[in-house]
Amino acid sequence: MSTATYVLQAAPDALAMTGAFVGGLVIVGALILAVRIGMRVMDQEPTRPRADEQPTLPATGAVREEREMREPDEIPLTSDGSPRLMPYQLHHAGSRRGADQTRRRWLPGSSGAFGSGGPGHV
């Protein structure tokens, strides 16, 4: 084989390597540009609060979770033809504290979730 055939066979490899190198440079340039834009955006954001500006606990201590059983307030029905109540006409709390504060539990022997394999209600 002559050197001309080697050059012709090597040309596609060199072209592929050059294309990969140029593609890599484009990706690196895009990443550098993205970082610079991100830094510019971060410079425009307000500064973070100092340690003395952080929120503190109230004087009474930490706030604890409160659990209670709630009952819904009934919406009055209008059968006499008066206009219906709109949401803004109802009071702000849609429920009230229930008289019975015991949590409802599953009955022993009743089924669990659908497809749990249990016998169901027996």
* Count of the separate structural domains present in the chain: 1
pLDDT in tens, 57-82: 888 888 888 888 888 777 666 677 77
Mean pLDDT of all residues in 84-109: 73
**Domain membership flag for residue 98:** no
pLDDT in tens, 7-31: 556 677 888 899 999 999 999 999 9
108 secondary structure, DSSP code:
T
**Domain membership flag for residue 37:** yes
**Domain membership flag for residue 34:** yes
Tokens 């609060």, residue located: 49
Q: Domain span at residue 28? A: 20-44
**Domain membership flag for residue 8:** no
Question: Rounded to an integer, what distance in angstroms lies between the CA atom of residue 34 and that of residue 48?
Answer: 23
**Domain membership flag for residue 82:** no
87 secondary structure, DSSP code:
G
Residue type, 101: Q
**Domain membership flag for residue 15:** no
**Domain membership flag for residue 3:** no
Residue 66's pLDDT is 81
pLDDT bucket at 44, cuts 50 / 70 / 90: very high
